[in-house]
Homo-oligomer: A and B are copies of this chain.
Amino acid sequence: MALLNYGNPIRFDFGAITHLPDGLVRLGVRRPLLVTDRGVSASGLVDRLLATLPADRRATVAIYDDTPGNPTENAVHDALAIYQAHDCDGVIGLGGGSSIDLGKAVALLAKCPSPLAQYDPLQGGNKLVKDVAPMVAIPTTAGTGSEASIGFLISMNDGRKMTFANPRFLPALSICDPELTLSLPARLTAATGMDAITHCIEGVLAPGGNAPADGIGLDGLWRGWRNLPRAVADGSDRDARWQMMMAATEGALAFTKGLGAVHSMSHAAGHVESLHLHHGTLNAVILPTVLRFNEAGSEEAYARLRQAMGLAEGADIARAVEAMNERLGIPKGLASLGVTESMIDELVPHAVVDLSTRTNPRPVDAGDFGRLFREAM
């Protein structure tokens, strides 16, 4: 079984979940709070996870399973209340990016005072992050890569979607067991898989001289692009599931370089609470438009992306992504997701100030974002 060690230790393979009891002991966690959502809970994965623990340890696990689709500041405080009421001493995040991100926020506020907003890295908040509770991240989707990332996103009560980023937010241990993704429905497999692919692509295109991250991103793209259609067509394809989970982890390792305009736009559209848009779906829908915008000046990187995707020299990458989206049953444009032209003026400022905008390979301003949103409709 592979132990990946790129920032944090990641146990990666079928059966990796059996490392949980030992992992908790090593981290000194005796009374964990398990953060998850209703879907994961209903699927039986919580029971499977508890079954890996010795009988006397199972009773010490407190559970919060109300993680919303996009984790909110209120949900963080609900989970934190359970953490404190049960005198917990660590967090297990089990689920998609939402549960793991929410778990990260709880691990922070377990050790540092509220409010959460003061830890905004853009406002110098990282110097206030003195300690976090130990956390084990266990993804059940292959997409966000939160298990290998220093970041997490929370929808704040004041309406902002805030990105927190600090090396301390890397889980103390991550367990990537592709077994846990075998029952993921095709639609979610497709959307989260395109999230992973977007991370790989934007990571590779971000500037900065971190060549190892380029290599990891290209490898993740190579795996993701070949295997996502297989995983969507047959969720029980164990090799395709392994490859997709690896592509997701590699996506996060690649975006240590930063992300780009796809994520700026996707985060902005994610603000529209009434639409409840899925982050991976948004990325998939927006990706072709931004790929068309970014090519000038990144020709060499685009040639490498094509190679990883098995495309011919000079092939239209944006068109290839559109074809992939269609094949995977992903909606065709933002309009089909419920975004309207009248919302664009409100979305643009969010995209401009988004952390990801700083690492887009081509400078992108408010005017550009307006045009890009219109093109992506």
A interface with B by C-beta (< 8 Å): 1-2, 4-7, 12-13, 208-212, 214-220, 222-223, 246, 249-250, 253, 256, 304, 307
* Candidates B2, B12, B219; contact of A215 at CB < 8 Å: B219
A-B contact pairs, 19 of them (CB 8 A): A2-B210, A2-B211, A4-B210, A4-B212, A5-B7, A6-B7, A6-B212, A12-B209, A13-B209, A211-B220, A211-B246, A211-B250, A212-B216, A212-B253, A215-B218, A215-B219, A215-B220, A218-B219, A307-B307
Chain B nearest CB from A305 CB (Å) reads 13
> B residues within 8 A CB of A214?
219
> B residues within 8 A CB of A223?
211
> B residues within 8 A CB of A208?
2
Alpha-carbon gap, A209 to B15, bound state (A): 14
Alpha-carbon gap, A121 to B223, bound state (A): 34
> B residues within 8 A CB of A4?
210, 212
Among A211, A249, A304, the most chain B Cβ lie within 10 Å of the Cβ of: A211
Residue of B nearest to A253 (CB): B212
Residue of B nearest to A304 (CB): B222
> B residues within 8 A CB of A2?
208-211
Alpha-carbon gap, A232 to B168, bound state (A): 43
Alpha-carbon gap, A284 to B220, bound state (A): 29
Residue of B nearest to A256 (CB): B5
Alpha-carbon gap, A222 to B304, bound state (A): 10
Given A214-B219, A216-B215, A307-B307, A209 and B253 contact (CB-CB distance below 8 Å)? no
Residue of B nearest to A167 (CB): B5
Residue of B nearest to A210 (CB): B2
Chain B nearest CB from A19 CB (Å) reads 15
Among A216, A218, A223, the most chain B Cβ lie within 10 Å of the Cβ of: A216
Residue of B nearest to A209 (CB): B2
* Candidates B7, B13, B209, B216; contact of A1 at CB < 8 Å: B209
> B residues within 8 A CB of A219?
211-212, 214-215, 218
> B residues within 8 A CB of A250?
211-212, 215
Chain B nearest CB from A147 CB (Å) reads 13
